[in-house]
Amino acid sequence: MFGRKVYGLDFGTKELKIYKKGRGLLVSEKNVIAIENKKKILAIGDEAYEMFEKAPDNVEVIFPVKNGVIADINYMEGLFSSFMTRINNSRKPQSADYVVAVPTDITDVEKRAFTDLIMSSVAKVKSIRIVEKPIAAALGARLDIHNAHGVMMVDLGADTTEISVLSLGGIVISKLLPIGGNTLDDSIALLVKKKCGLYIGKKTAEMLKINIGCAYPTEDMNQDIFGRDVVSGLPVNKEVNSMLVYDAMSEYISNIIDSIRIILERTPPEISSDIIDSGIYLTGGCAHIRQLDKLISKQTELSVNICDDSLNTVANGIGRVIEDGSYLKISSDFKKK
Ligand SMILES: Nc1ncnc2c1ncn2[C@@H]1O[C@H](COP(=O)(O)OP(=O)(O)OP(=O)(O)O)[C@@H](O)[C@H]1O
Ligand SMILES: [Mg+2]
């Protein structure tokens, strides 16, 4: 059983969530750290993200999670320690239980990095439990995961898309694709450079994706953006059309839908019939790409639901594990060496 102090953690590629038992979501910020002169922590979270693509040479702005796994354990530990110290009003955190969400389709060594970083941080650890992200997402979407009803969750994140089929509180199949919102942003920036002769930053590309991006072109939209002219090198503003953004995104979106179809083909028939019944559940930030639900529905001939509060579904699911003891068995105990 958990003690009185319990924290739930979702270390996403772009977003970091810290949930505390009885208090709810305490941290929901960008998972970014800014380091000055390779040593000093200059800023964390949203404040560090403000510096992204603007920082001088002696400041590095680092995303320590890449493709859903910890790419830089020291910076992730520094970032986590700083947030834990901040939410404990600059005091050392007291002994607590921790529940951390991890992707399913990664190696044991990659899973271990999530627990190692918590243990080497300022946190005084009583216990650590691991919850697989698709299960946390299903719980966060308030689906009844204990019963035998099969469910398909598609978590469309920043670097990854995790497609999973769940039944009886466990994972039947899961695939982590290296495609997410960042992939789309990079592709948009490349096409804007090629077609408009304009260098743009990742934040501008993301704004184009969110404001005028669509998975299936239905309406014609334009967005004014600032960038640097490829030839003159001068800052200029130009109008970008939604068709260009669609062209940049469509191949990646097709890859995601192809993978959903492959997973559906591999799903045992009894579970498939449940999925036909209840449809596919989309979560993660990119679930909100315009017309994506419609396109997936058209190409799989299944109904598609977008989870409420989809940016927080995993964190809300960990919250349910922490607050309600009956979900303890869906998490696994991590033993310290
Ligand atoms: N309204 C929106 N429309 C389209 N994309 C959006 C929207 N809101 C957020 N996003 C995108 O969602 C992504 C972030 O999603 P999310 O927070 O689920 O990722 P993450 O959990 O940090 O990443 P991962 O799960 O890959 O580790 C970003 O690429 C962001 O641009
Ligand atoms: Mg995520």
Ligand 1 and 8: CB distance under 6 A = no
Residue 112 CA to ligand 1 centre (angstroms) = 24
> Strands 222-229 and 40-44: what pairing?
unpaired
Ligand 1 atom closest to the Cα of residue 31 is: 22
Ligand 1 and 210: CB distance under 6 A = yes
| Coil vs helix vs strand at 156 | strand
Residue 281 CA to ligand 1 centre (angstroms) = 16
Instruction: Place 333 in a pLDDT band, splitting at 50, 70 and 90.
Output: confident
pLDDT of residue 68: 95
Q: For the chain, give the percent of residues with pLDDT over 70.
A: 99
pLDDT of residue 145: 83
Query: Per-residue DSSP letters for 97-154?
Result: EEEEEE-SSS-HHHHHHHHHHHHTSS--EEEEEEEEHHHHHHHHTT--TTSS--EEEE
Contact 203, 53 (CB under 8 A): yes
Q: For the chain, give the percent of residues with pLDDT over 90.
A: 90
Residues having C-beta closer than 5 Å to ion ligand 2? 12, 157
- Mutational pocket test of ligand 1: of 211, 291, 311, 312, the residue with most ligand atoms within 8 Å of the beta carbon: 311
> Strands 280-283 and 151-156: what pairing?
parallel
Residue 157 CA to ligand 2 centre (angstroms) = 5
Task: Sketch out the chain's domains with CATH numbers.
Answer: 6-137+313-334 (3.30.420.40), 143-179+249-309 (3.30.420.40), 181-248 (3.90.640.10)
Instruction: Please write the tens of the pLDDT for every residue from 265-305.
Output: 999 999 999 999 999 999 999 999 999 999 999 999 999 99
Q: Which of 4, 3, 28 is nearest to 87 (CA)?
A: 28
Instruction: Please write the tens of the pLDDT for every residue from 194-216.
Output: 999 999 999 999 999 999 999 99
Ligand 1 and 162: CB distance under 6 A = no
Q: Is the pLDDT of residue 329 over 80?
A: no
Which residue is listed with tokens 């695939």? 175
Tell me the mean pLDDT in the region 37-41: 93
Residue 167 CA to ligand 1 centre (angstroms) = 26
b/e for 278-312, b at 16 or more Cβ within 10 A?
ebbbbbbbbbbbbbbbebbbeebebebbebeebbb
Contact 165, 151 (CB under 8 A): yes
- Mutational pocket test of ligand 1: of 15, 161, 164, 204, the residue with most ligand atoms within 8 Å of the beta carbon: 15
From residue 116, give the alpha-carbon distance in Å to each of 44, 125, 166: 20, 11, 27
Torsion of CA 47, 53, 57, 60, to 10 degrees: 50
∠ at Cα 147 (146, 151), nearest 5°?
Answer: 90
Q: Is the pLDDT of residue 20 over 70?
A: yes
Instruction: Place 336 in a pLDDT band, splitting at 50, 70 and 90.
Output: low
pLDDT of residue 5: 95
Q: Is the pLDDT of residue 102 over 50?
A: yes
Ligand nearest, relative to CA of residue 65: 1
Ligand 1 and 64: CB distance under 6 A = no
Ligand 1 atom closest to the Cα of residue 160 is: 26
Tell me the mean pLDDT in the region 176-198: 97
pLDDT of residue 337: 45
